[in-house]
Amino acid sequence: MTDLPILSTVSSPADLRSLDEPTMVRLAAEIRSFLVAEVSTTGGHLGPNLGVVELTLAVHRVFTSPSDPVIFDTGHQAYVHKIVTGRRDLFDTLRQRDGLSGYPARDESPHDWTESSHGSASLSYADGLAKAFAVTGQTDRRVVAVIGDGALTGGMAWEALESIAEGVDRPVVIVVNDNGRSYRPTVGGLAHTLAALRDRGVGRGTASGHPRRLIHGLRHQPAGEVSPRTLFSDLGLTYLGPVDGHDLHALEDALRRARDHGGPVIVHAVTEKGHGYAPALADDTDRMHCIGVTDPVTGESRAQQTRHWTDVFAGELVRLAEERKDIVAVTAAMTDPTGLTMFAERFPDRLFDVGIAEQHAVTSAAGLALGGLHPVVALYSTFLNRAFDQLLMDVGLLHLPVTFVLDRAGITGPDGPSHNGMWDLSLTAVVPGIRIATPRDGVRLIAALDRCTSVTGPTVLRFPKGTLPPAVPALRETADYDVLAEPDGDAEDTVARRILVVNYGALTEQAFAAAEALTDAGYVVTLIDPVWVTPVADPVVDLAADADLVITVEDNGVHGGAGQQLHRALATAEVDTPVRYLAEDQTFPTHGTRDEVLADYGLDEASVVRRVLDWAGHLFGDHRK
């Protein structure tokens, strides 16, 4: 973009402090135009960032970053922060290979203190930083945590609040970005309390309490008077607000008072998600929360409409719930992204959204199971990491019938290292008695969901992000595995080396590439797809015992993954067949497309072929017998 006369002069927070208020208002408009143009081209989190333009500008005018750390929770609302801290010219690379991360990234700028992308963690970071500054005598430094109202539904945030409140002389400024929404309208008692505070701040006439109806009234309120609001004052925290989050003058006044207070302060800023962009404001589904390539004028997606893994799960869960009254669904502020919208519309009394509180979601599901229901807990794979103890001790120990449906399993790509779901096979398989399914296509996803919800005990169903692949039919099916490829009758009579390729989940093309390359090289190859990752079925062990080499293929970290689980089962059965794993190394991958990240791990088809031929060659030499 070229028509950005003010924005083009801003390369650091210091540049903001010399601008007068009318110029700042024009700058905010330029930033919104810039965001719409750039994010529509690259994809990314548009709605949340349009809502924090004035808030971010005010924070950077009042505080001195990076000396005063500014931490964003969740990190997807940090685009404006990136713009004013010298990264504006990188936005055409947003979320692309070797480009700008969609979240704060410590290796990008000293202004980014964390890699904050999972919700509810900012206040704990802030508490620790403030304590570190106190211990080292840096009493002139403030810590600012900008936390979305949705992230305040997480229990970790409240644990941190109690600790922050104890430090009466430690200057922590908590800015609550209250737009009434995380992905969808924020749920729970806290949301109602914040709505009540907003109403009290603007008077009557705002029955719904939604920020879109509050902004106009807030413009005429005093700039955030100190008020002993019950919600926070009982914790020992000073409360300022509510403040219009799009009024720079009111925001800066409240933030200066918070900065000068000398102790922990909460500034309650009411913002409007998607502010200033008509397509976002007209969208009640939060489709504009995170967009792909989009028409910047209309907000319409330019991506080809395709059927996704999530769509298959969504339809099948509704069908199951129509047949079974015991099926209920649980999610953590992710009703739309995990495909539960249709379920919520059809069975509103059987959908429980607990907010950004995965730990509570899992143990609440355990309670639902104790009450005779079969809960389906739908989460992104990466967010189950936060609730492992609850999975292990509250569900697993009681061997309760809870099904965990993990969307975005494996490599997700553009969202970066914190959002890859490459840990769940390693984590969930630790739980005694658990069953894990990794379907290779939509047909098997439906069958796996049916099986999981029929099991008396904990089950996991995982599938990746993205477009549904073509169905891969089995040559033949058994109770424990599908045979996808096998030698013909003549090959069965040879004495060539036998290789078993075991496919787990959605890397089926890579598994076929391995099998075909080995077959072409003269080996006798069988390719199977097990019904369950764990427990490992005895017939799968028997097949491995008859092979000279086993190769496993999975979209998960290698440590504790499906391959190592099979290898352990072979060792227990005293089967000495060597096993080689095609899986992800235990690293935090950088952002890029899914294919780019898989290639980094040697899981593109060309690398898979090279690796399996190398393994076979090293084990068996150049001959095939």
Q: What does DSSP assign to residue 394? A: I
Closest among 10, 34, 38 to 24, alpha carbons compared: 10
Alpha helices in 527-601 (DSSP H): 538-545, 562-572, 594-600
Phi, psi of 581 (to 5 degrees): -110, 130
| Tokens linked to 181 | 């929404």
Report the sign of the C-alpha dihedral through residues 396, 399, 402, 407, in that order.
Answer: positive
Residue 150 annotated as binding? yes
Look-up of token digits 């090959």: 491
Clarify whether 386 is annotated catalytic.
yes
Between the alpha carbon of residue 344 and those of residues 179, 350, 361, the distances in Å are 22, 7, 16
Residue 78 annotated as binding? no
Look-up of token digits 């991958």: 589
Question: Exposure string (b/e) for 208-240, b if CB count within 10 Å is 16 or more?
Answer: ebbbebbbebbeebebbeebebebbeebebbbb
| Tokens linked to 194 | 């914040």
Clarify whether 287 is annotated catalytic.
no
CB contact set of 60 (below 8 Å; sequence gap of 6+): 13, 16, 70, 81, 84, 85
| Among 272, 358, 596, 605, the one annotated catalytic | 358
Residue 151 annotated as binding? yes
Residue 86 annotated as binding? no
Angle subtended by helix axes 53-62 and 21-42, to nearest 10: 130
Look-up of token digits 């008509």: 278
| Among 198, 386, 462, 465, the one annotated catalytic | 386
| Count of CA atoms in the C-beta half-sphere (13 A) of 185 | 13
CB contact set of 563 (below 8 Å; sequence gap of 6+): 502, 504, 552, 554, 579, 581, 582, 583
Q: Are 411 and 584 in contact (CB under 8 A)?
A: yes
Question: Exposure string (b/e) for 422-444, b if CB count within 10 Å is 16 or more?
Answer: bbbbbbbbebeebbbbbbbbbeb
Q: Are 499 and 399 in contact (CB under 8 A)?
A: no
Look-up of token digits 């080396």: 497
Clarify whether 465 is annotated catalytic.
no
Q: What is d(CA 50, CA 277) in angstroms, rounded to the nearest whole number?
A: 8
| Among 88, 181, 273, 462, the one annotated catalytic | 273
Region label for 187, one of left (φ > 0), alpha (ψ between -120 and 50) or beta (otherwise): beta
Q: Give the pairing of strands 524-530 and 481-485.
A: antiparallel
Q: Are 383 and 118 in contact (CB under 8 A)?
A: yes
| Tokens linked to 595 | 């294919």
| Tokens linked to 503 | 């496919």
| Tokens linked to 381 | 């794979």
Closest among 315, 13, 355, 314 to 185, alpha carbons compared: 355
Q: Which amino acid is at 231?
A: L
Q: Are 321 and 343 in contact (CB under 8 A)?
A: yes
Q: Are 112 and 87 in contact (CB under 8 A)?
A: no
Residue 421 annotated as binding? no
Q: Which amino acid is at 420?
A: N
Q: Which residues are annotated as a binding site for thiamine diphosphate?
A: 76, 150-151, 179, 277, 358
Q: Which residues are annotated as a binding site?
A: 76, 149-151, 179, 277, 358
Q: Which residues are annotated as a binding site for Mg(2+)?
A: 149, 179
Could you give the residue numbers annotated as active site? 273, 358, 386
